[in-house]
Structure 1
Amino acid sequence: MKSRLESKKVAYKDYDITLIRSNRKSIAIEINRDLQIKVRAPQRMTQNRIMKFVTEKEDWIQIHLEKMELLRQKQEQDDRYSQRSPLTEEEIRKLTETARKVIPVRVAYFARQMEVTYGRITIRNQKTRWGSCSQVGNLNFNCHLAEMPDEILDYVVVHELCHRKQMNHSRLFWAEVEKVLPDYQIRRKWLKENGRRYLT
C-alpha cells in the first residue's frame, strides 16, 4: 500500500515549517541547504504533539539553520571563485593595498600573544605560496589572503610566526600552532581544498 502524503505550511515563531504527514511511525525534522524546515509526522499525530516536538527541538533547529547557512555561503563563494576571470593588474594592486593594511595588524596581534619578534613584512602576488618566514624573521605573505575568511588569514599568520620558534614543520612546530589555534587542522584543510581558487 502506498504511503499517502499530506503537506501544508505551518508558522512557528520566526520559522515557516512544511509539515508532511504520512504512514510513518515516528516524527522527524530535516533542514535542507535552502534553509527549508520540514517536519515529517505520522498521519494520526495531533497538531499539539507535533508543535510540542518542534518546541523541544528549537535549539537543534537554530544550530542546524546556522550550519546550513554557512554551507550555502561557502558554496556561493566556491562558485564565485571557480567562475571568475583572472584579476587585472589594477585589481591586484588594490588587493595588495588592502592586504598591507590588514595583515600587519594581525601579525602584531598574534606576535604579542605568542611573545615572538619579527622583521620586515612583505606582501606579494604569489602563485604558489601563502607565506614564508626567513631565518632573521622577515615575513612574506600572499596578497590573496586579503580575500579569504578571517580565520584562514589568521591561520597563515600564526603558521609563519610559529617558525620564529621552530624553523621546520616538525611535531614541535605543529604543537606551537595548536597552542594558538586549537582548530588549526580544520583551517589547514580548508586552505588546501580551497586555496587554489584564489590564485588567479
Structure 2
Amino acid sequence: MSQFSLPGNPPIDVILRRSARAKRLSLRMSQLDGRVTLTLPNKVPESQGMAFLREKETWLRSHLSKRDVDVAVALGTQIPVEGEMLRIEPGSGRSLQRSDGALRVPGPEDRVAARVKGWLRTLARDRLAEACDEYAQRLGRPYDRLTLRDTRSRWGSCTHDGGLMFSWRLILADREILDYVAAHEVAHLAEMNHSPAFWAQVERIYGDWKPARTWLRENGAALHRFRFD
C-alpha cells in the first residue's frame, strides 16, 4: 500500500492498494473522512490505474465537494453533545464544566482537543453503561463487558460471549440515537442475527427503532467530521 497526491486544485491524497482478490480496478471515497482509495488487481500496471483515476477525477472532485468539511476541535469550536450545541471556551480549575451552552476547558490551549475527547469518552461510557444496564434488564440477559472505540465501519457490536462495543462518537448525537444503538446491541444477546425475531426484541426493549436507524444512515457520517488530533 502506498500513497500519492493527484495534482489539481486542491490536490487529492490517494491511497494505492494492490489486491490479489480484486478482479477489476475500483475507486472508493470514504464518506466518514474523505479518504480516497484506488484498488488495483495485482497484474494491472500502475500506469493503467493512473489512467483510470484521471477518467474518474471529475466524479471524484464532485463527491468530495459535497462532503461535510472536517472540524478541528479547539477553542471557539462548536460541537454537538447529546443534542445540544456547545461552544468550547477557556475554563478555570481542574475539570471541564458544561453550562449555558458552553463547555469550558481549563489548561493549555494545545491540550484542549485531547481534554474534550477524554471528557466525551467518559460521558459516552456513563450514558452507554446506563442504557445497556436498563435494556439488558428488560431483555433478561446480562452482558459481560462494555468497551469503547472510535470505529468507522459500525456504531456497535456484540460478541458471542456477551461483550458489547460502541463508538464513543454516539455521544455527539441526540440521546435517543445512543439509546437505540445500545438497545440494538443488547438485543443481540438474545438473537445474534438481524431476523424478524431480533427486531422484535429491539422493539420490545426500546420501542419504535426505525426513526433512529434512519437518522444514523442519513446523518451518522457527520459525527466523524470532528477531529481531535
The secondary structure found in structure 2 opposite 1:157 is: helix
The secondary structure found in structure 1 opposite 2:194 is: coil
Corresponding residue of 1:85? 71
Gaps of 5+ in 2: 1-67, 74-112
Q: Which has the higher helix share?
A: 1
Corresponding residue of 2:197? 172
Corresponding residue of 2:84? none
**Equivalent residues of 1:121, 1:140 under 8 A apart:** yes
Corresponding residue of 1:112? 137
| TM-score, normalised with respect to structure 2 | 0.49
CA distance in 1, matches of 2:72, 2:185: 27
**Equivalent residues of 1:92, 1:125 under 8 A apart:** no
| TM-score, normalised with respect to structure 1 | 0.56
* CA shift for structure 1 position 84: 5.3
Matches within 5 A, 1:20-169: 82=68, 85-87=71-73, 88-169=113-194
- Larger radius of gyration, structure 1 or 2? 1
Q: Does 1:199 align with 2:217?
A: no
C-alpha change, 1:129 and 1:89, in structure 2 (3 Å) is farther
Identity of aligned residues (%): 35
1:150-196 Cα deviation digits (max 9, x unpaired): 11111000000010110011111111112223311111111111111
- Give the structure, 1 or 2, with the largest relative contact order (CA under 8 Å, sep 6 or more): 2
The secondary structure found in structure 1 opposite 2:166 is: strand
The secondary structure found in structure 2 opposite 1:141 is: strand
CA distance in 1, matches of 2:194, 2:131: 22
